[in-house]
């Protein structure tokens, strides 16, 4: 393991910022640390970089315990949300800065600066000052400065958050390319699930200072371990149901029943479960009735035209509202419709995971 | 009120602050203009060649730079510590730094006398060691540092406070220790404010009068010499020395501002 | 170097600035402590009851508040104009505001004399109108305003500069004109900085010595009276008045800071 | 028309910020002013609010020319990107501030403050100071303050940009609801096409100081008037082609031809056209070959797993790359595939619109 975080706990005053967080990064891996603002992501980054001494827990870099080492003795480079290029140094001097701290020959430094400026396609701006660069160029130079000393781990702390959508996607592609080319072990911290899913090999999803799930983006999206992960990784409809029959699974949603033939439940009949299903997986059934998929009936309460699709809100007799995505012209509000619920796309949570 | 064209109503409201402020500006500008127009009537070169005047100029040019150097050498690290640490008792230390700014210079001088005067233990020991702390150049330096030192601390502190701490953190993560980071990042980035503070400290030190009068009436600096000549010969007698002091101040202030790329001290 | 435990190496580097800064702090603190320990040996009440001392206290308490009032009344609008407009020649105006800060007070006093002295047209006219501008309370106020006025302008300007202009724009869009917006939004939000500037100006005005000596050696204010008594009776003779001046300064500074919710002037 | 902007032009120094921009808002309409950073959106808002005097052009509010009126004489409320609540006033005082400028009785002011705090569901925080509120609450109070004086037009200048995704969506819903309830004519300025499409009745899309398109979100998304609008309102593949036959339309893409049976071109044979089609509209054809839709062949160059879908990059023989969205497991890189191009989803641009 290149980076191991184990049992990390930290408090600010009486407020717990991070509680017993453990995860690790294999060599060359890019891992997304994802969670809403205030979930403790930045505390973790600061603890790894050494700008904060955690109340408990250990940080290991290439097997060495660095928890009590100052930042300059860890090989962990950080790129912050706001640019931190040195305004009194040129682009080349900024990139060389981290190299000069190490005992490297001048000619080798020049060479490494050149290589890293080529990596970010800015070799021609070597003598420019940061103030002369555009926002996206500054970000790329920061990446080059962070990468040039060949750190054990690259920490990207919300590097895209302050940027426009088009610049953001361009830089996201650049980060992906550079990470593949250099193979640097990278922890990518973000609150944006689209950025995380597009870049990361694996995701560590955080909520309120604790880990809510760790897995590949696809596994977390398709089989979220907790309701929080289900709704944080994309839009999700939650419907409360009661187990009628554990196997084959039959659920009661108010007066209606939902039969999920290939599923079984480890909860007994009568237990409450929360069912999550994504709006894109729901469809409005045609009226021919030859369909055998499980369905729920309700009335269209509201339609939003999103340009590329319609969001159809359907209120069930239980007063819960589910959103169904639809490309074709939707039925008007008030219409009674049947919502097809594909059994394989339904994730169920018992009461024990519902709070997480 | 509705009789006015509302579009014309806007213009006067803009001029209200300018008009009021203009009164103060006039009060600042007129004395300068009057003084500079006076200089033609007086033989400046002759006035400055007199031995007492030359000795006063030499004393001022010896003491003020030393006081500024001391203030900077000890004040800039203090400013950095105040900007970056949050130790218990920091408020008290900040109060101590500001006290000499608000204490009247004559009182400051009296205070210094009670600390290092000829009849205090400290003053007696220094005198015995051949370094009198009153009525000496050392006394002048002590007085100037006491009165002028806070300027560089307060200004540099504001400068360090404006340096984004993340730039320092990035430097640490790039392999530099705290001292190297201070030298490579914090100091160059706060340079403008520090230069402004140094300029203010020098200007205050070279013109220091009240505390110097108390601690070291002799040897004379330019300000104390001006006072002696004013008593003896009135306003006309002091024009050469006053002009010399003004010239030293203006030359140093503008030179350091040029070097520091500071348009005016206000921006520091 | 590798012989040291690297973990122990960190701690000293933190103390370097504190250690250097401590030297300056000691230089600021020791005179205070020495002076305050001295006061026990002197009969303060008797010293302050003497008619010349009482007259000096009265003169100081008359002039310094008036000078502060003038500086604030004219200086705050000037500060707002400097913070919000970008007229041609603004740099020059900023330079004029800072000049009295860097000009030595004795030179400032000499300049004032050349502008409003007894033998200048302005001074002669004022004298004929029964309002002498030198050797009078009016002269003291002129000197104090000249020397102390820039503090409130510079500090208030920084305060207005820190008020987000969008808050003013929002007020305009909510139906308020420029003057109402200044009163409702800019002034309350810059209040802390303005109070700090007023405090600095008062402290500087009440302790003003050099310029006052030149413009109005009579009637005596506390600082000039201290000087006269120091010449006559040495350090012991001046402790009561110096203490009174220190007390006035400290009381006003702390009171206004309390009202302004300012922990220290440094933060202003 | 409640608001009319006509021929608005403004320069900063020699740089043109806005060039001849005209649009109007009908009573009660919510219009999105959308474009990338630096396209001149903020200049337009400032000109409407009166914080900037334009070099040329006129602003009309309810038919009255207000171009030379100061801000306090226009009934245009602004909500800025950064909060501008007055820290020295309580929530109630902030909301009352705009009412007190008008000649309204004290009791009526109290009533209006109460109504507007209820509108934003913060009636209980009337005596709190802004510093005690959360970021989302501050935004809602700003909305209430802007709405209380019943402005002719509400200008929302990127009110969501500084917020987290979940807070952003919550506030977006709140803005939509409040706008529907109050019926205030609203100009919603944003660089985020998702926010704009979710909220606006109509969009004014800007690029480099000029208007690139005005229409409903759906019309602009489905039939973008310019390539800029096509790519700004969502991901878009651009393929260069040459007209072979104008009617029925046959296009040449390198060596391949694309027959679009129901389309015709007003450009002659031999003309160059740029074809735009969205990744979600492209599919990979199955190998059975019974399909009659137009197709293009190419090789899979790269696959990105986005969690909820795969993005399959297909490089055509012309070296252009198109992205195809796919739910199912995609073919590996290097596979030769056939991309189905639904004729109705292809938008063509001639050389005259390509630069816009």
Q: What is the pLDDT of residues B1-54, one digit of tens each?
A: 333 333 334 444 667 778 888 889 898 989 988 888 877 766 888 888 889 999
Extract the tokens encoding C167.
């808050």
Sheet holding A310-315, edge to edge: A283-284, A336-340, A295-305, A310-315, A321-326
Q: Does pLDDT of B63 surpass 90? A: yes
Q: What is the pLDDT of residue C42?
A: 67
Say if residue D292 is in the same domain as residue D199: no
Nearest to B167 among A72, A76, A84 (CB): A84
Is A321 contained in some domain?
Answer: yes
Cα A146 vs. chain centroid, distance in angstroms? 22
Mean per-residue pLDDT for A76-103? Answer: 93
Between chains, do D305 and A166 touch, taking CB under 8 Å as contact? no
User: Which residues of chain A are within 8 Å of residue B188 when distances are taken between CB atoms?
Assistant: 88
Cα D326 vs. chain centroid, distance in angstroms? 26
Confidence of residue A354 (pLDDT cuts 50, 70, 90): very low
Element (H, E) at B260: none
Is A133 contained in some domain?
Answer: yes
pLDDT-wise least confident of A336-350, B163-177, D76-90, D157-171: D157-171
- Measured distance between the N- and C-terminal CA atoms of chain D, rounded to whole angstroms: 28
Between chains, do A68 and C10 touch, taking CB under 8 Å as contact? no
Say if residue D204 is in the same domain as residue D248: no
Secondary structure in 3-state letters for B81-121 = HHHHCCCCCHHHHHHHHHHHHHCCHHHHHHHHHHHHCCCCH
Reduced to 3 states, what is the DSSP secondary structure of residue A25? strand
CATH superfamily of B46-259: MetI-like (1.10.3720.10)
User: Which residues of chain B are within 8 Å of residue A70 when distances are taken between CB atoms?
Assistant: 172, 177-178
Say if residue D181 is in the same domain as residue D308: no
Please tell me if residue B194 touches chain C, with a CB cutoff of 8 Å. no
Cα C125 vs. chain centroid, distance in angstroms? 30
User: Which residues of chain B are within 8 Å of residue D69 when distances are taken between CB atoms?
Assistant: 6-7
Between chains, do C235 and B263 touch, taking CB under 8 Å as contact? no
Say if residue A246 is in the same domain as residue A214: no
Q: What is the pTM of this model?
A: 0.84
Per-position b or e across C7-18, b if 16+ CB within 10 A of its CB: eeebeeeeeebb
Dihedral over Cα of C184, C190, C196, C197: its sign: negative
- Measured distance between the N- and C-terminal CA atoms of chain B, rounded to whole angstroms: 43
Cis ω for the linkage preceding D132 (within 30 of 0): no
Say if residue D27 is in the same domain as residue D157: yes
Mean per-residue pLDDT for C34-47? Answer: 80
Extract the tokens encoding C56.
């000096």
Mean per-residue pLDDT for A13-24? Answer: 92
Reduced to 3 states, what is the DSSP secondary structure of residue D188? strand
Q: What is the pLDDT of residue B209?
A: 94
Neighbouring subunits of D (3+ Cβ pairs under 8 A):
A, B, C
Cα C261 vs. chain centroid, distance in angstroms? 19
Nearest to C24 among B75, B112, B177 (CB): B75
Mean per-residue pLDDT for C46-51? Answer: 87
Say if residue D242 is in the same domain as residue D149: no
Nearest to C32 among B82, B111, B250 (CB): B111
Say if residue D289 is in the same domain as residue D319: yes
Hey, what's the torsion of the CAs at B118, B121, B127, B128, to 10 degrees? 140
Residue with tokens 């040897």: B219
Nearest to A78 among B173, B176, B178 (CB): B173
Beta bridge mates, D297: D338
Nearest to A164 among D164, D166, D191 (CB): D191
Q: What angle do CA D59, D60, D65 make, to 5 degrees?
A: 90
Contacting B residues, span 40-69, partner chain C, CB-CB under 8 Å: none
Residue C242: closest CA among B44, D127, B240, B214: B214
Distance from CA of D71 to the nearest CA of C (A): 5
Q: Which long-range contacts (CB under 8 A, 24 or more apart) does C45-50 make?
A: C45/C240, C46/C240, C47/C237, C47/C239, C47/C240, C47/C241, C48/C240, C48/C241, C48/C244
Q: What is the pLDDT of residue D289?
A: 56
For testing contact with chain A, the best of B84, B168, B174, B178 (most A CBs within 10 A)? B174
Distance from CA of A256 to the nearest CA of D (A): 29
Between chains, do C169 and D71 touch, taking CB under 8 Å as contact? yes
Q: Does pLDDT of A103 surpass 50? A: yes
Distance from CA of A215 to the nearest CA of D (A): 11
Distance from CA of C84 to the nearest CA of A (A): 25
Distance from CA of D64 to the nearest CA of B (A): 15
- 8 Å CB contact between C212 and B65: no
For testing contact with chain D, the best of B4, B7, B12, B13 (most D CBs within 10 A)? B7
- 8 Å CB contact between A139 and A163: yes
User: Which residues of chain D are within 8 Å of residue C164 when distances are taken between CB atoms?
Assistant: 82, 84
Reduced to 3 states, what is the DSSP secondary structure of residue D11? strand
**Rounded-to-integer distance, Cα C62 and Cα C58, Å:** 6
Extract the tokens encoding B72.
């900077």
- 8 Å CB contact between D61 and D2: yes
Between chains, do B6 and D73 touch, taking CB under 8 Å as contact? yes
Reduced to 3 states, what is the DSSP secondary structure of residue D336? strand
Q: Chain C residue closest to A66 (CA)?
A: C7
Nearest to C177 among B13, B32, B235 (CB): B13
Say if residue D42 is in the same domain as residue D178: yes
Confidence of residue B205 (pLDDT cuts 50, 70, 90): very high
Question: Distance of CA C257 to CAs B71, C69, D115, D330, Å?
Answer: 26, 17, 40, 70
Contacting C residues, span 201-230, partner chain B, CB-CB under 8 Å: 203-204, 206-210, 213-214, 222-223, 226-227, 230
Q: Chain C residue closest to A69 (CA)?
A: C7
Q: What is the pLDDT of residue A288?
A: 53
Between chains, do C6 and A68 touch, taking CB under 8 Å as contact? no
Domain termination site, one of A231, A246, A273: A231
DSSP code of residue A329: P
ipTM given for this complex: 0.82
Say if residue D166 is in the same domain as residue D197: yes
Between chains, do C10 and A70 touch, taking CB under 8 Å as contact? yes
Distance from CA of B182 to the nearest CA of A (A): 13
Q: Which residues of chain D have pLDDT under 50?
A: 353-356
Distance from CA of B187 to the nearest CA of A (A): 11
For testing contact with chain C, the best of B10, B107, B225, B262 (most C CBs within 10 A)? B107
Domain termination site, one of A193, A215, A231: A231
**Rounded-to-integer distance, Cα D140 and Cα D243, Å:** 53
Q: Chain B residue closest to D67 (CA)?
A: B7
Nearest to A234 among D191, D218, D308 (CB): D308
What percentage of chain A reaches a pLDDT higher than 90? 56
Say if residue A270 is in the same domain as residue A124: no
The set of residues, in sequence order, having a beta carbon less than 8 Å from that of D199 and lying 6+ positions away, is D30, D32, D172, D175, D176, D179, D188
Q: Does pLDDT of C9 surpass 80? A: no
Residue D6: closest CA among D53, D52, D65: D65
Q: What is the pLDDT of residue B260?
A: 60
Q: Does pLDDT of A355 surpass 50? A: no
Confidence of residue A302 (pLDDT cuts 50, 70, 90): confident
**Rounded-to-integer distance, Cα D25 and Cα D79, Å:** 18
User: How many C-beta atoms surround the C-beta of residue D338 within 10 A?
Assistant: 18
Cis ω for the linkage preceding A48 (within 30 of 0): no
Q: What is the pLDDT of residue B42?
A: 66
Kind of pairing, strands A15-25 and A210-215? unpaired
User: How many C-beta atoms surround the C-beta of residue B159 within 10 A?
Assistant: 25
Phi then psi for residue A64, to 5 deg, are -95, 135
Residue A242: closest CA among A229, A231, A253: A253
Please tell me if residue D220 touches chain A, with a CB cutoff of 8 Å. yes
Extract the tokens encoding C233.
């009776």
The enclosing domain of A300 has a CATH number of 2.40.50.140
What percentage of chain C reaches a pLDDT higher than 70? 90
Element (H, E) at A189: strand A185-190
Please tell me if residue C31 touches chain B, with a CB cutoff of 8 Å. yes
Q: What is the pLDDT of residue B268?
A: 32
Q: What is the pLDDT of residue C41?
A: 65
Q: Domain range holding A81?
A: 3-231
Please tell me if residue B7 touches chain D, with a CB cutoff of 8 Å. yes
**Rounded-to-integer distance, Cα D74 and Cα D60, Å:** 10
Distance from CA of A113 to the nearest CA of D (A): 30
Between chains, do D165 and A197 touch, taking CB under 8 Å as contact? no
Q: What is the pLDDT of residue C143?
A: 96
Contacting D residues, span 304-343, partner chain A, CB-CB under 8 Å: 304-308
Please tell me if residue A37 touches chain D, with a CB cutoff of 8 Å. yes
For testing contact with chain D, the best of B1, B5, B6 (most D CBs within 10 A)? B6
Is A356 contained in some domain?
Answer: no
**Rounded-to-integer distance, Cα B169 and Cα A78, Å:** 9
Nearest to B173 among A71, A86, A87 (CB): A71
Is A20 contained in some domain?
Answer: yes
Neighbouring subunits of C (3+ Cβ pairs under 8 A):
A, B, D
Domain termination site, one of A170, A201, A231: A231
Mean per-residue pLDDT for A239-267? Answer: 84
**Rounded-to-integer distance, Cα D21 and Cα D38, Å:** 15
Give one DSSP letter per residue of D35-65, joined into a string: --TTSSHHHHHHHHHTSS--SEEEEEETTEE
Dihedral over Cα of C58, C60, C65, C67: its sign: positive
Extract the tokens encoding B79.
């400013």
* Residue range B137-159, pLDDT digits in tens: 999 999 999 999 999 998 899 89
Q: What is the pLDDT of residue D249?
A: 85
**Rounded-to-integer distance, Cα D90 and Cα D122, Å:** 12
Mean per-residue pLDDT for C68-87? Answer: 90
What percentage of chain B reaches a pLDDT higher than 90? 52
Say if residue D105 is in the same domain as residue D227: yes
**Rounded-to-integer distance, Cα B168 and Cα B151, Å:** 25
- 8 Å CB contact between A152 and A160: no
Proportion of chain B in helix, strand, coil states, percent, rounded to 5: 80, 0, 20
The enclosing domain of D27 has a CATH number of 3.40.50.300
Q: What is the pLDDT of residue D99?
A: 95
Mean per-residue pLDDT for A215-224? Answer: 91
Size of interface A-B (CB pairs under 8 A): 55
**Rounded-to-integer distance, Cα A162 and Cα A195, Å:** 13
Element (H, E) at B229: helix B222-259
Phi then psi for residue A16, to 5 deg, are -80, 120
Distance from CA of D123 to the nearest CA of C (A): 21
Phi then psi for residue D90, to 5 deg, are -75, 175
Say if residue A339 is in the same domain as residue A316: yes
Is D356 contained in some domain?
Answer: no
For testing contact with chain B, the best of C7, C24, C157, C263 (most B CBs within 10 A)? C24
User: Domain segments of chain B: what residues?
Assistant: 46-259
Extract the tokens encoding B163.
């340096």
For testing contact with chain B, the best of D67, D70, D74 (most B CBs within 10 A)? D70
User: Which residues of chain C are within 8 Å of residue A73 when distances are taken between CB atoms?
Assistant: 6
Kind of pairing, strands A30-34 and A202-207? parallel
- Domains of chain A: total: 2
Please tell me if residue C6 touches chain A, with a CB cutoff of 8 Å. yes
């Amino acid at each position: 393991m290149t980076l191991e975080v184990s049992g990390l706990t930290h408090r600010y005053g009486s407020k717990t910022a991070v509680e017993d967080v453990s995860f690790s990064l294999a060599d060359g891996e890019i891992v997304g640390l994802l969670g809403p603002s205030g979930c403790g992501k930045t505390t973790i980054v600061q603890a790894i970089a050494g700008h904060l001494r955690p109340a408990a827990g250990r940080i290991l870099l290439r097997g060495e315990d660095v928890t009590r080492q100052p930042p300059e003795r860890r090989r962990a480079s950080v790129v912050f949300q706001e640019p931190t290029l040195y305004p009194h140094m040129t682009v080349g001097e900024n990139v060389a800065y981290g190299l000069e701290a190490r005992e490297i020959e001048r000619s080798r430094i020049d060479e490494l600066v050149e290589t890293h400026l080529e990596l970010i396609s800015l070799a021609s701006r070597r003598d420019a000052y940061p103030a002369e660069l555009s926002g996206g160029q500054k970000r790329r130079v920061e990446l080059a400065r962070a990468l040039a000393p060949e750190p054990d781990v690259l920490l990207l702390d919300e590097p895209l958050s302050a940027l426009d959508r088009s610049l953001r996607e361009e830089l996201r592609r650049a980060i992906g390319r550079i990470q593949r080319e250099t193979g640097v072990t990278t922890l990518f911290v973000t609150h944006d699930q689209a950025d995380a899913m597009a870049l990361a090999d694996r995701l560590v999803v955080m909520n309120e200072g604790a880990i809510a799930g760790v897995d590949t983006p696809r596994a977390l999206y398709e089989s979220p371990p907790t309701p929080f992960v289900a709704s944080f990784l994309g839009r999700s409809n939650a419907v409360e149901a009661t187990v009628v029959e554990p196997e084959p699974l039959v659920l009661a949603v108010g007066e209606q029943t939902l039969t999920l033939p290939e599923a079984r439940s480890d909860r007994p009949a009568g237990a409450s479960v929360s069912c999550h299903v994504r709006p894109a997986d729901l469809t409005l059934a045609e009226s021919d009735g030859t369909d055998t998929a499980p369905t729920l009936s309700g009335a269209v309460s509201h339609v939003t035209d999103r340009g590329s699709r319609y969001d159809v809100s359907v209120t069930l007799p239980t007063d819960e509202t589910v959103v169904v995505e639809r490309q074709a012209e939707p039925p008007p509000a008030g219409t009674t419709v049947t919502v097809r619920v594909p059994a394989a796309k339904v994730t169920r949570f018992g009461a024990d995971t519902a709070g997480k | 009120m509705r009789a006015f064209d509302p579009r014309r109503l806007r213009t006067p409201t803009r001029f209200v602050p300018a008009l009021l402020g203009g009164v103060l500006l006039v009060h600042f500008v007129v004395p300068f203009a009057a003084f500079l127009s006076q200089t033609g009537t007086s033989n400046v070169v002759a006035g400055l060649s007199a031995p007492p005047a030359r000795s006063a100029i030499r004393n001022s040019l010896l003491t003020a730079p030393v006081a500024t150097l001391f203030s900077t050498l000890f004040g800039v690290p203090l400013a950095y510590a105040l900007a970056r640490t949050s130790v218990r008792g920091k408020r008290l230390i900040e109060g101590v730094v500001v006290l000499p700014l608000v204490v009247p210079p004559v009182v400051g001088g009296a205070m210094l006398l009670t600390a290092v005067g000829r009849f205090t233990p400290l003053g007696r020991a220094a005198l015995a060691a051949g370094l009198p702390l009153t009525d000496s150049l050392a006394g002048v330096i002590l007085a100037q540092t006491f009165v002028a030192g806070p300027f560089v601390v307060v200004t540099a502190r504001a400068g360090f406070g404006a340096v984004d701490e993340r730039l320092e953190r990035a430097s640490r993560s790039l392999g530099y220790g705290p001292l190297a980071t201070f030298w490579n990042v914090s100091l160059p980035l706060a340079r403008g404010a520090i230069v402004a503070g140094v300029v203010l400290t020098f200007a205050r030190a070279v013109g220091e009068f009240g505390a110097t009068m108390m601690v070291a009436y002799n040897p004379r600096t330019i300000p104390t010499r001006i006072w002696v000549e004013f008593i003896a010969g009135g306003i006309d007698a002091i024009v050469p020395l006053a002009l010399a002091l003004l010239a030293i101040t203006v030359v140093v202030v503008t030179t350091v501002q040029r070097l520091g790329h500071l348009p005016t001290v206000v921006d520091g």
